[in-house]
Structure formats: C-alpha cells, structure tokens
Chain A
Amino acid sequence: AQKVTQAQTEISVVEKEDVTLDCVYETRDTTYYLFWYKQPPSGELVFLIRRNSFDEQNEISGRYSWNFQKSTSSFNFTITASQVVDSAVYFCALSGGYQKVTFGTGTKLQVIP
C-alpha cells in the first residue's frame, strides 16, 4: 500500500522568509515517482515537479528546491524568499506506475506581507 504523510497542516511565514514543506512516503514498489502539486485559492491543482525513485539529485527551479532522500523516504520542498503569491495548499504525491496516484493531506502555506 502507498502512503504519503504531510505532517504540517498549516504554516505561516512572513514574506521573504524561507520555508520547507515536509513529505514522507511509504511504498513497497522499487520504482516509483514523487510529485509536488500546488493548489492556489483559485482551486485548480498545478504540477510543480516529478522525481523518479532512481534520481536522488536535488533540484532547484528559481526560488523552489526539492530534496529527495531515499534513506529517510522523504521528498521535502523548500521555497526561498517566499512571496505572497506562494500562498496555497501544497500536495505531495506518490505513484507506482500502473497504480493510483496517492496524495498527502496537503500543507496550507500562508505568506504574510
């Protein structure tokens, strides 16, 4: 069975602060994919990143960075110099190929100006 845990329900930061959103996963698959999605107040979920289980390289995209550690089954997401537009609910997700894509419960991020 697959499981994704996002222990942080809500986080509030002041603009320009860095913030890390945690994601811990469980799977028996040897090949799997991890994702982060953003759900802004408008409601539509937007894809941010995909990482496969064989690629443990960290990734940076502008102010966003992701740290994948297989040893701890974690795929954490850091926003550097947060902005008000980053306010959203962020979901971590896990897929095992032909199986369902399992989402975590989400972390609501509020960036205060």
Chain B
Amino acid sequence: DSGVTQTPKHLITATGQRVTLRCSPRSGDLSVYWYQQSLDQGLQFLIHYYNGEERAKGNILERFSAQQFPDLHSELNLSSLELGDSALYFCASSSGTGDEKLFFGSGTQLSVL
C-alpha cells in the first residue's frame, strides 16, 4: 500500500459530462502529480502541485483543471468529456518537488461512453 488514496476506482460516464477525481497524498507529502495513462499515449504528465501551488504543467487539456487544497488533497476536474478521455488517471505524491520517488495511487479508470 503506497499510502496514496484515489477515488473513485472506476467511473463510467457519457460524452459531454463532467467528473471529479480525488486524490489524498501520503501523510506528510506536499507534492501531488496527476498522470493520464492510455494505451496509445503511455503515461502522460498532466500537472504538478506543491503545497497548494501549481509547479508544472504538462499536456493537460483546457477542459481539464486541477487544484490542491489546504489539507493537501487534490482534485482533477474533467469537463466536456470525449471518448478519447477514457483512460487510467493516476495520482502520485512525493515529499518534495520532483527529485524524490513518487508514490502512486491505484488509479481511477475512466470510461466515457
């Protein structure tokens, strides 16, 4: 058990809808990362937050947004969903800002029908 909690584990929704994925980092970790894993794109970095502030942005679509709250949990919001957004979304946490190992959650499997 990595100590990172992601909810929900599975999410099935329709095109055009909006969903929120939630992540609770390991106790004491200040950094939260979001990744999207799909068969054709591999593990794509979306965004990194450190202690509530956005640190780095990757290939995150404008329809997607994220935030890290004062209690350090993070939410990834996906809106106007398309079929191509179907993927496994991972959250990871670390104590610092990128040079430490990442602890991954078990992921949220999103299926857009």
Contact = CB atoms under 8 A, between A and B. Distances in A.
A99 B56 contact: yes
A103 B45 contact: yes
A103 B97 contact: no
Contact of B33 (A52, A101, A105): A101
Given A44-B104, A45-B104, A98-B56, A103 B98 contact: no
Interface in B15-54: 33, 35, 42-43, 45, 48
B104 A96 contact: no
Nearest to B50: A98
Given A43-B107, A45-B104, A97 B99 contact: yes
B42 A105 contact: yes
A66 to B, nearest CB: 14
Contacts of B107: 43-44
A106 B41 CA distance: 11
A74 to B, nearest CB: 19
A65 to B, nearest CB: 18
Contacts of B99: 33, 50, 52, 95, 97
A101 B88 contact: no
Contacts of B88: 43
Nearest to A103: B43
Interface string B85-104: 00010101000011111111
